Amino acid sequence: MFTEPLTITILLFAILLLLLLSGVWIGFSLFGVGVAGMLIYKTNLPPAISIWDKIGGLMATSVWNSLNSWAITALPLFILMGEILFRTSISTRLLNGLVPWFSRIPGRLLHINIVACSLFAAVSGSSAATTATVGKITLDELSRRGYDRSLALGSLAGAGTLGFLIPPSLIMIIYGVLSDTSIGKLFVSGILPGFLLAGLYSTYIVFRAKVNPQIVPDSAESYTLQQKLAALKELVPVLLLVAAVLGGIYLGVTTPTEAAAIGVLGALVLAAVYRNLSWGNFREALLNAVQTTCMICFIIAGAAFLSQVVGVVGVARGLSEYIVSLQVSPYVLLVILGLMYLVLGMILDGISIVVMTLPIVLPMVLAAGFDPIWFGVFLVIMVELSQITPPVGFSLFVIQGISQEPVSAIIKATVPFFMLMILAVILISIWPDIVMFLPDQMSK
């Protein structure tokens, strides 16, 4: 049997890729790889009645432990909150509140995608929901007013991925559960990197507007200070909901699950105030939340089982020892992992990437001396990249569906924002305090 950890890892990934290419569901694929690993390397296991007893016992234990978690209850609640907000007029009000404040900034309303996605990400937690909700409102409006279509598409693709980084983030909840890391600290660790990315996007738009003024229409709408202040009332509900959800977590008053429950309650209150959430829409929101939660939990259970198998057969320990023995620079390891995630992003969605790679990658990262919270943000940004990486970048298909533009044109428009995300990864690697400053403040 194989003994080299690298060989074991390659074989397990090959089996996983074979199952995925065969059309097997991701959850079943993860369980299948775990079973294959146990069968192939059963000689490494302690003696017992039968290998199937070992597999069954390990599967039952890992599935129960991964899903019997109070922290994971935040997942369906945040999903439900996003579904409810998706069906209210909050996105339209968000746009109306922001428009007057960008009339004099170079690039003017092209910044709307960045700011609107940042704000909506802070109340949805979903990249797809953020992209779809903001895109449905802004793309047609920007085109109608004469703004550059390509830059509008690219900024939406880039900013839409902020739903994974700016808390509350579904990916961070999954990472926190699988890595046994504080979800509250993960949430606050994404705030500054999220603002960094949003700032990079807006800076690029300003630069493009200065170099090529034709990307914005000649006539600019003018707003008085009174009109600008009056528009703020449209933003107040969003800002209050963000403060209620994130403020409690940061101050240590609420757990992420309690904050999620407050978020759902706040979303229902907004829906009642706006009077645009019917029973049919509410029922659809509940069903979609249940379906999404079941899908994610099934994947988490499969990833937990695979993680247990990786530990039992010695892959995690062997890989950690192998990396340490190579004496590779930690930053070289990051480059290797970054390239791996870029390749995986071409064929898999973000959640799948996290749950399939984390059981094997995390021990290597910890052995290299990286903080699990910092690596969580690094991983989330790489997952964001996977959302706009062809040919399976999910955000690309969301934008194609709402814009009816060719995918090739969307990919071309997204390239500059893809490169800005790479720059953000480099910046947080050089200055890790960008990620760790707020979590460190929580520990004091």
User: What average pLDDT score do residues 395-404 get?
Assistant: 76
User: What average pLDDT score do residues 149-176 get?
Assistant: 83
Find the range with the poorest average confidence among 45-49, 163-167, 301-305.
Answer: 45-49
CB of 147 within 8 A of CB of 110?
yes
- In single-letter form, the type of residue at position 42 comes to K
**Cβ neighbours around 296 below 10 Å, total:** 21
Residue 49 has pLDDT above 60, yes or no: no
User: What's the CA gap between 347 and 163, in Å, rounded?
Assistant: 21
Phi, psi for 327 (deg, rounded to 5):
55, 40
Residue 104 has pLDDT above 80, yes or no: no
Mean pLDDT of the chain: 79
Element (H, E) at 305: helix 279-312
Please choose, from the candidates 74, 77, 76, 156, the residue with its C-alpha nearest in 3D space to the C-alpha of residue 110: 156
Please choose, from the candidates 188, 125, 119, 205, the residue with its C-alpha nearest in 3D space to the C-alpha of residue 413: 205
Confidence band, pLDDT 50/70/90 cuts, at residue 317: low
DSSP 196-222: HHHHHHHHHHHHHHHH-GGGS-S----
Please choose, from the candidates 374, 361, 307, the residue with its C-alpha nearest in 3D space to the C-alpha of residue 333: 361
**pLDDT single digits (tens) 130-146:** 777 677 767 877 887 78
Confidence at residue 322, expressed as pLDDT on a 0 to 100 scale = 65
Confidence at residue 68, expressed as pLDDT on a 0 to 100 scale = 79
Find the range with the poorest average confidence among 181-190, 236-245, 259-268, 423-432.
Answer: 236-245
Confidence band, pLDDT 50/70/90 cuts, at residue 426: very high
Residue 316 has pLDDT above 60, yes or no: no
User: What's the CA gap between 50 and 325, in Å, rounded?
Assistant: 35
Tokens of 235: 């933003």
Predicted TM-score (pTM) of the model is 0.71
**pLDDT single digits (tens) 407-420:** 788 888 888 999 99
**pLDDT single digits (tens) 327-372:** 778 888 888 888 888 777 665 666 767 877 787 788 888 888 889 9
User: Between the ranges 172-176, 252-256, 276-280, 308-312, where is the mean pLDDT highest?
Assistant: 172-176
CB of 373 within 8 A of CB of 185?
yes
185 vs 124, residue with greater confidence = 185
**Cβ neighbours around 424 below 10 Å, total:** 23
Confidence at residue 3, expressed as pLDDT on a 0 to 100 scale = 47
Tell me if residue 392 falls in helix, strand or coil: coil
Confidence band, pLDDT 50/70/90 cuts, at residue 196: very high
CB of 375 within 8 A of CB of 156?
no
376 vs 219, residue with greater confidence = 376
User: What's the CA gap between 37 and 312, in Å, rounded?
Assistant: 10
User: What's the CA gap between 174 and 156, in Å, rounded?
Assistant: 25
Confidence at residue 59, expressed as pLDDT on a 0 to 100 scale = 82
User: What average pLDDT score do residues 97-115 get?
Assistant: 80
CB of 263 within 8 A of CB of 77?
yes
Q: Is the sign of the CA dihedral 207, 212, 214, 220 positive or negative?
A: positive
CA angle in degrees (0–180, nearest 5) for 197-199-203: 120
Phi, psi for 254 (deg, rounded to 5):
-125, 155
Residue 423 has pLDDT above 90, yes or no: yes
In the chain, the percentage of residues whose pLDDT exceeds 90 is: 8
Please choose, from the candidates 359, 335, 422, the residue with its C-alpha nearest in 3D space to the C-alpha of residue 385: 422
Tell me if residue 105 falls in helix, strand or coil: coil
Cα–chain center distance at 331: 23
User: Between the ranges 114-123, 209-218, 382-391, where is the mean pLDDT highest?
Assistant: 209-218
Confidence at residue 245, expressed as pLDDT on a 0 to 100 scale = 79
Tokens of 349: 């969605």
Confidence at residue 1, expressed as pLDDT on a 0 to 100 scale = 42
Confidence at residue 100, expressed as pLDDT on a 0 to 100 scale = 81
Residue 378 has pLDDT above 90, yes or no: yes
User: What's the CA gap between 380 and 241, in Å, rounded?
Assistant: 23
User: What average pLDDT score do residues 188-202 get?
Assistant: 90
Confidence at residue 219, expressed as pLDDT on a 0 to 100 scale = 64
Confidence at residue 169, expressed as pLDDT on a 0 to 100 scale = 77
User: What's the CA gap between 354 and 341, in Å, rounded?
Assistant: 9
- In single-letter form, the type of residue at position 231 comes to A
Confidence at residue 373, expressed as pLDDT on a 0 to 100 scale = 93
Confidence at residue 394, expressed as pLDDT on a 0 to 100 scale = 66
Residue 212 has pLDDT above 70, yes or no: yes
Confidence at residue 435, expressed as pLDDT on a 0 to 100 scale = 92
User: What's the CA gap between 153 and 412, in Å, rounded?
Assistant: 10
Residue 321's contacts (CB-CB under 8 Å, 6 or more residues apart) are 5
Residue 302's contacts (CB-CB under 8 Å, 6 or more residues apart) are 26, 27, 28, 29, 30, 31, 34, 355
Confidence at residue 326, expressed as pLDDT on a 0 to 100 scale = 67
CA angle in degrees (0–180, nearest 5) for 338-340-345: 95
Tokens of 390: 């062809």
